[in-house]
Structure 1
Amino acid sequence: MSSDPWGRVDETGTVYVRTADGEKVVGSWQAGSPDEALAYFERKYEGLVVEIGLLEKRVRTTDLSSKDAMAAIDHLREQVDAHHAVGDLDALRVRLDKLVELVDKRREERKAQRARQSEEARQAKEALVTEAEELAQSDQWRAAGERLRALVDTWKGLPRLDRKSDDELWHRFSHARSAFSKRRKQHFAQLDAQREEARRIKEQLVAEAEALSGSTDWGPTAARYRDLMAQWKAAGRAQREHEEELWNRFRGAQDVFFAARSSVFAERDAEQAENLKLKEELAGEAEKLLPIADLKAARAAFRQINERWEAIGHVPRDARPKVEGRMHAVERAIQEAEESEWRRTNPEARARAEGLTGQLQAAVDKLKGQIEQARAQGNSARAEKLERELEGRQALLDQALKGLQEFGG
């Protein structure tokens, strides 16, 4: 008979293993010595130890599913319970029980992880839906369209939720995209209609611009071209394939007219420059009449100069105020001399001036007397008040005396 701490072989060749529940028959060995029998079944035990160790490692370090892990544990437990090995089988059962606990723990962890991932996916999809619904109201057609396509790619990369939740969110997401597409389609349809209307209007404007290109009615035609340009801008853009061609025709018609006008205006400008030279000479001749010594002779000479002035045509607009101002200055000087002469020789005006002067002189004299009287009475306040009144009357008297001098008196 042969034995070790975990098993023995009796004289009949029966092999036993020791367990907490007593000895269990492992098997019968007739092929060799008892030691060989024990060694054989001890190797079977070592094999179970290795398999359990490998399973423990897989459970801890890989994503082995709980179902597959439990199937492997059950398979090993059947082998342990079959008692076909010699060794500490109770220790193997303990390890298998702990492995079951570990699998259960991993199952709960994975369940919680899946719940977290599901919630994260839900929040991500709700965020996508919210953004898509906001984009559905956007008028930034290109940018919003590109962003919506990017959102679809992001959606596809997210895990599915439970069918009800996933379907509800997808319905909102899909509806937002459809609403945006519908609005964009309507916008571009309206834009096409506007561009077609712009093309029709601009064809009419081009036709009128081309009809006006040969006009020599420079002012009104130039004004009409300005109106046409304003209408052109207000019409908006036509389709790209029509816009450039219509613009080239419209601009070309204007160029023909304005080139012809510029040629005519160049000739006119040369003529007006010569007219300016002549009028500057006449203005210089008129200025020599100043200061006026002989009013009658000055008046006759200015009249003759002015007749020659009127016979000369237009001068450049920017030079007109200066040269005309020189003539007007001489004309005003002659008019002022005439008015002065009239006042000097007008007996009625002289009489009125003398009467006013006399009245003011009397008022001044009276005030002086009242001031002396107030001071004599010691009434300084009244005296000061009368002195202020005297200053005003004296100023009026001085002005009246100056006017009277103009009459030679």
Structure 2
Amino acid sequence: MSTNPKAVLPKLSFWQIWNMCFGFFGIQFGWSLQMGNMSAIYEYLGASPEQIPGLWLAAPMTGLIVQPIIGYMSDRTWHPKLGRRRPYFLVGAILSSLALFIMPNSSAIWMAAGVLWILDSSINISMEPFRAFVADNLDKKQQPMGFAMQSMFIGLASFVAGYLPQKLVQWFGVSRDKTAGGIPENIMYSFYIGGAVFLLAVLYTVIKSKEYPPADPDWKNKLDAEGKGFMGGVKEIFSSVTNMPDQMKRLALVNFLTWPGLFLMWFYYSTGVASDIFGGNTTTSSDVYTQGLEYANTTSAILNLVTFGFSFTLPFWVNKLGKKYTHTICLLLGGAGLISVNYVTEPSYLYLSMGLVGIAWASILSMPYSMLAGCIPPHKMGIYMGIFNFFIVLPEIIASLFFGNVMETVLHNDRLLAVQVGGGLLIAAAIVCAIVVKENE
């Protein structure tokens, strides 16, 4: 069942695709502030390194639960003014913005963890339909451009968000001193700005883009015949999981290896740089520790600047190498970048390491979805995009539950060694991609 009244989706202009994807700038702005600062916030509030993975459990658990449900619901939604996916963008943006304002005012670990559950649930409400939104509105030839545009906005937003805490100090005189709750003032104001940017960027996409109404006037009844109500939704989700297309299963295996490598980077890269390379800690040398965090965030910002620039070249590499080998090579480069972090002798070398990860990140955010979109039934685009997220969040759940013990007993709380393990996982994902994924299916 097409969502477009025409038999063929019309070709959209560059600026129409830009408008469709701009909301991702706001979503990623908020997400990047969370990824770059949550481990530090937990440590500022008294958490130890082995506690960090468990405290991050909110992100994968909410993704596992929320994304397929939102996908299922958005497949069955049609609002005369807001369309199918945009109502979810808007509700998620409002809730996420409120949570971003609350997060830096957390006064205890349990409060920060609770707000993170709310924040991640809300971000997932906005994020999941965006993947389906591109697949709904672009034909197969333009889908790589649409997903690459999302990667571009993700890279740009992450670049700005990574520099924000440092630039608030340098340009506007905001203090690095801790507030009464224990969170540095520059991080607090960064979250406030992130909340505003999140909402405004999503509002722009809601206002400036459109969706095609269903071609079949009886579409709702036909979907409801497959499953209606809560139990119908559960049945439909399980049925879709058991009947996944073969290409989706292959890509799921690649993602299952890719994302733990990224999670280990997010868990430990910033705090590892602050403690192992700068020699700071959260008590006796808190200012050195904060400067190390800021330096790590600026190198992560360069990662995302590379993602921003490299995303423009992805259609070229796809034409030359195909989607499969483009993704394979990018994963190999990203793995090499993460492994190199543990061998740097000068902090400035981290820019090169993170630049390599930026190439992989551009591909991770676009190539799997581009390869996936062509093998999914159009009327189940939302639910399958949500289910595909299982293979991102399940390995994160495993890491959150068990890696703390590995961190303490095997890696002896060596944060940068954990990042190196993440690099090895990206290389493993590249090998699997080259062997099992089909180029055209």
Do both share a fold (TM > 0.5)? no
TM-score range, shorter chain: under 0.3
Higher relative contact order, structure no. (Cα contacts within 8 Å, ≥ 6 residues apart): 2
TM-score by length of 1: 0.18
Name the one with the larger strand percent: 1
> Is the radius of gyration larger for structure 1 or structure 2?
1
